[in-house]
């Protein structure tokens, strides 16, 4: 994002969900076991503010952000039902913005929403150039497309942006701060692997991810020499970027 802005380009950042079902940090910070719909709505609103704070620290204007408010942790189920609302919205955004590059979550990510967003993005934008990124987990070797080596100033701004996500740092500070690493790795388009996955596969990958992070055996973040901290909560929102 920083490179695009510095070169005079424009950004469109699309937040597919508000991350309102990020239950473990909510329980920890609110000191309550049972969460209400009002609790989740308030949490989602807070995470929107954190997202805008993060963009501002990167120099991205608020007008570049679009929040779609799809149900958190519900995108894969929509794909299984054959729903195309998200695809149609992405098609319209692409038609209106006419990006030269789309940066999408990866189907190799261990978060089900991220994989489902990858599926919808690739179905919606078969022509524009697509690069993907992984937050949870690791892409297979050989799929790397390019790596950006951040300058010290760029890395500091990225760290400042990550620190806006206070809700996520509460239980996962080391893991989230490790995202502000020197190298940002992006992967090739995934038309060959994106798919609608079964509910059983979704549950299995979620269980596998939880076990790995709980026992500290999750792969290190690409480009980072910092091992992720053990935690059992989601990432900092579900984002598809259009450049």
Identify the CA nearest to 120 among candidates 225, 44, 30, 14: 14
Can you tell me the mean pLDDT for 15-41? 92
Give the residue with greater pLDDT, 219 vs 160.
160
Among 38-42, 126-130, 202-206, the minimum mean pLDDT is found in 126-130
Q: Using pLDDT thresholds of 50, 70 and 90, give the confidence band for residue 126.
A: confident
Q: CA 61, CA 24: separation in Å to the nearest integer?
A: 31
Q: What's residue 23's pLDDT? A: 87
Task: Find the CATH number of the domain harbouring 235.
Answer: 3.40.50
Q: What's residue 239's pLDDT? A: 66
Q: CA 102, CA 243: separation in Å to the nearest integer?
A: 6
Among 17-21, 23-27, 34-38, 114-118, the minimum mean pLDDT is found in 23-27
**Structural domain of 142:** 2-242
Can you tell me the mean pLDDT for 31-60? 96
Q: What's residue 243's pLDDT? A: 65
Question: CA 31 → CA 35, 38, 40, 141, 206, distances in Å?
Answer: 10, 15, 14, 42, 24
Mean pLDDT of the chain: 89
230 pLDDT more than 50: no
Number of domains in the chain: 1
User: Which residue bears the tokens 């005079």?
Assistant: 8
Q: Which residues are CB-neighbours of 198 under 8 A, at least 6 positions away?
A: 80
Q: What's residue 48's pLDDT? A: 98
* Residue 7 near residue 94, CB atoms below 8 Å: no
């Amino acid at each position: 994002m920083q490179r695009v802005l510095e070169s005079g380009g424009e950004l469109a950042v699309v937040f597919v969900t508000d991350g309102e079902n990020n239950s473990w940090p909510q329980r920890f910070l609110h000191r309550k076991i049972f969460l209400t719909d009002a609790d989740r709505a308030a949490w989602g609103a807070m995470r929107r503010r954190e997202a805008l704070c993060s963009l501002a620290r990167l120099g991205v204007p608020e007008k570049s952000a679009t929040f779609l408010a799809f149900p958190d942790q519900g995108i894969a189920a929509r794909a299984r039902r054959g729903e195309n609302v998200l695809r149609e919205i992405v098609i319209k955004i692409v038609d209106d913005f006419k990006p030269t590059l789309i940066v999408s979550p990866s189907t190799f990510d261990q978060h089900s929403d991220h994989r489902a967003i990858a599926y919808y993005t690739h179905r919606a934008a078969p022509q524009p150039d697509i690069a993907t990124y992984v937050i949870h987990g690791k892409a297979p070797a050989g799929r790397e497309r390019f790596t950006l080596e951040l300058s010290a100033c760029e890395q500091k701004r990225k760290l400042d942006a990550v620190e806006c996500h206070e809700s996520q740092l509460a239980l996962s500070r080391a893991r989230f701060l490790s995202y502000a690493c020197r190298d940002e790795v992006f992967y090739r388009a995934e038309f060959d692997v994106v798919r609608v996955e079964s509910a059983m596969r979704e549950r299995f990958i979620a269980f596998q991810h939880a076990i790995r992070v709980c026992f500290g055996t999750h792969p290190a973040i690409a480009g980072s020499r910092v091992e992720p901290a053990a935690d059992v909560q989601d990432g900092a929102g579900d984002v598809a970027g259009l450049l």
